[in-house]
Amino acid sequence: MSANPELIRHNWHLDEVLALFAQPFNDLIFKAQTVHRRYFDANEVQVSSLLSIKTGACSEDCGYCPQSARYDTGLKVEKLMCVDDVLAAAQQAKAQGASRFCMGAAWRQPKDKDVEKVVEMVQGVKALGMETCVTLGMLTDEQTAKLKEGGLDYYNHNLDTSEDYYSEVITTRTYQDRLDTLARVRDAGINVCCGGIVGMGESDKDRAKLLIELANMSKHPESVPINRLVQVEGTPLNGTDALDPFTFIRMIAVARIMMPKSRVRLSAGRNGMSDEMQALCFLAGANSIFYGEKLLTTDNPVTNYDKVLFERLGLNMSESNY
- By the 10 Å C-beta count (0-12 exposed, 13-18 middle, 19+ buried), 112 is classed as exposed
Residue 189 in this model has a pLDDT that exceeds 80: yes
Where residue 320 falls among pLDDT bands split at 50, 70, 90? low
Query: Which region among 51-60, 121-130, 286-295 has the lowest average model confidence (pLDDT)?
Result: 286-295
Amino acid at 137: G
Are residues 53 and 79 in contact, defined by beta-carbon separation less than 8 angstroms?
Answer: no
Does 319 score more than 80 pLDDT? no
Out of 186, 250, 265, 270, the active site residue is 265
Say how many residues make up the chain. 322
pLDDT for residue 296: 45
Q: What is the average per-residue pLDDT within 157-177?
A: 93
Question: Using CB atoms within 10 A of its CB, is residue 45 exposed (0-12), middle (13-18) or buried (19+)?
Answer: buried
Catalytic residue among 9, 70, 133, 312: 133
Task: State yes or no: is 184 an active-site residue.
Answer: no
Lowest mean per-residue pLDDT among 109-118, 263-272, 296-305: 296-305
Q: DSSP string spanning 45-92?
A: EEEEEEEEEEBS-B----TT-TTBTTS---PPPBPPPPHHHHHHHHHH
Identified catalytic residue from 65, 207, 263, 270: 65
Distance CA 210, CA 195 (A): 8
205 pLDDT tier (thresholds 50, 70, 90): very high
Active site residue 82: no
Residue-wise pLDDT for 64-121, tens only, equals 888 777 776 777 777 888 899 999 999 888 888 888 898 988 887 888 999 999 999 9
Confirm whether 281 is a catalytic residue.
no
Residue 131 in 3-state DSSP? strand
The average pLDDT across 192-214 equals: 96
Does 58 qualify as catalytic in the annotation?
A: yes
- Evaluate if residue 289 carries a pLDDT over 80: yes
pLDDT in tens, 111-140: 899 999 999 999 999 999 899 999 998 899
User: What are φ and ψ of residue 251, in 5° steps?
Assistant: -60, -45
The whole-number average pLDDT for the span 157-164 is 95
Q: 133 catalytic, yes or no?
A: yes
Q: How many CB atoms lie within 10 A of CB 75?
A: 19
**Cα separation, 269 vs 129, whole angstroms:** 28
pLDDT score of 292 more than 90: no
Mean pLDDT of 250-270: 94
* 226 closest CA partner among 275, 183, 268: 268
Q: What is d(CA 193, CA 188) in angstroms, rounded to the nearest whole number?
A: 14
Catalytic residue among 173, 184, 193, 194: 193
What pLDDT score does 305 carry?
83
